[in-house]
Amino acid sequence: MRSDTFAAVTPTIAIREDSFEASTASSAQHLCLEMGRDRFRFCVVDPSTRTCFWLEDYTFPSLLTENLLLPSLQSIYQDHPVLQNGFWKSVTVSVNSPAFTLVPSRLYRKEYASHYLQLMRGSALPSSEHALAFVHAREGFHSVFTIENALTDWLAATYPLQQIRLIHQSSALLQASAALDASLPEQQNLYLYFEEENVTIIYRRNRALRFCNRFAFKNTNDLVYYILYVIHELKTDPKQIQAVLLGEITPFAETYGALERFLPRMSFGATLPGLQLTPAFEDVPEHRYLSLMGNTIVE
């Protein structure tokens, strides 16, 4: 594949506050990155005011040779006015992949990290990947996930003077859902984060995490089945539960209409408490980028 094919990668969404000069991006700001085989997103946040003023979203077409992530990232980073800055107050990278599991901290052993994932996947990790863990200290568990060796090497070379915080996308969502949960009056809330062919389901009862998993689906019927199955296994009534919709879903989607029949108490998620969005975000639904915004929360 020719390199100029990757050079054509441009953002599908670009939100940039006019008053912000890209050249001033510096060690005073927080850089949040979300990376997956078919997508890359990032935003810049001023931690002193908790203001997000820059966001870009890239989607990689499947024609790009099995969705090779690194060549696409290298193309995006080349001469980028913000991403080329080598030093930030902090850098958080969330990995968007299906391979993750949650382990109670009292049972977690670092030397068994890859074995936890092997049990989840049903096979050993390939030599091109390794296991990492992120501690959710407040909730008492470790999130264990895989990352490609080449990606960690590239990140280390790109930000050689930074200590990079590596987490799984589900950890960003768990942090975000905990923040949203604290602001809701309901005591049992089901958070549904939608992507094109995946849904992450998070259930919190009395502010405590009770369930988290990710499901791949091909059609709306499969999606509804997975969600109702989870609710049934949790032994709760779908009519009593508050469902909070996040990610890539709108009131006009087929998915929304199907779920509305079974989940009468549905609402769209809001911006994270305390996080400010500049006027440039006016046309973006508040629930759209919750996984990315969850990276701004540091336990």
Question: Domain containing 289 — which CATH number?
Answer: 3.30.420.250
For the CA atoms of 88, 164, 12, 62, the dihedral, rounded to the nearest 10 degrees, stands at 150
Residues 6+ apart with CB under 8 A from 156: 164
For residues 189 and 161, membership in a common domain is answered with no
Name the pLDDT band for 13 (thresholds 50, 70, 90). Answer: very high
For residues 25 and 117, membership in a common domain is answered with yes
Of 297, 23, 31, nearest to 164 (Cα)? 31
Note the pLDDT of residue 6: 44
**Cα-to-chain-centroid distance, residue 216:** 15
For residues 13 and 159, membership in a common domain is answered with yes
For residues 201 and 293, membership in a common domain is answered with no
Q: Please give the mean pLDDT across all residues of the chain.
A: 91
What is the arithmetic mean of pLDDT over 276-291?
A: 94
Evaluated on CA atoms 101, 104, 109, 110, the torsion sign reads positive
For residues 123 and 162, membership in a common domain is answered with yes
- Residues 77, 60: Cα–Cα separation, whole Å: 14
Question: Domain containing 192 — which CATH number?
Answer: 3.30.420.260
For residues 5 and 121, membership in a common domain is answered with yes
Note the pLDDT of residue 176: 96
Name the pLDDT band for 134 (thresholds 50, 70, 90). Answer: very high
For residues 164 and 20, membership in a common domain is answered with yes
For residues 54 and 109, membership in a common domain is answered with yes
Name the pLDDT band for 167 (thresholds 50, 70, 90). Answer: very high
Note the pLDDT of residue 27: 81
Note the pLDDT of residue 64: 44
Residue entry with tokens 């923040």? 179
Calculate helix-pair angle for 149-158, 69-77, nearest 10 degrees: 10
Note the pLDDT of residue 23: 60
- Count of domains for the chain: 2
What are the tens digits of pLDDT across the range 79-122? 898 898 878 999 999 999 999 999 999 999 999 999 999 999 88
For residues 21 and 163, membership in a common domain is answered with yes
**Backbone angles phi and psi of 266, in degrees to 5:** -115, 145
Structural domain boundaries, residue 252 = 184-270
- Residues 60, 65: Cα–Cα separation, whole Å: 10
What are the tens digits of pLDDT across the range 210-252? 999 999 999 999 999 999 999 999 999 999 999 999 999 999 9
Q: What share of the chain is helix, strand, coil (3-state, %, to 5)?
A: 30, 30, 40
For residues 143 and 162, membership in a common domain is answered with yes
User: Which three-class secondary structure state does DSSP give residue 52?
Assistant: strand
- Residues 214, 211: Cα–Cα separation, whole Å: 10
For residues 211 and 279, membership in a common domain is answered with no
- Does residue 297 surpass a pLDDT of 90? no
For residues 103 and 233, membership in a common domain is answered with no
- Does residue 65 surpass a pLDDT of 50? no
Amino acid at 145: F
- Does residue 181 surpass a pLDDT of 80? yes
Lookup: tokens for 282: 């006016």
What percent of the chain stands above pLDDT 70? 93
What is the arithmetic mean of pLDDT over 251-260?
A: 95
What is the arithmetic mean of pLDDT over 125-138?
A: 95
**What are the helix (H) ranges across 50-147?**
69-77, 113-121
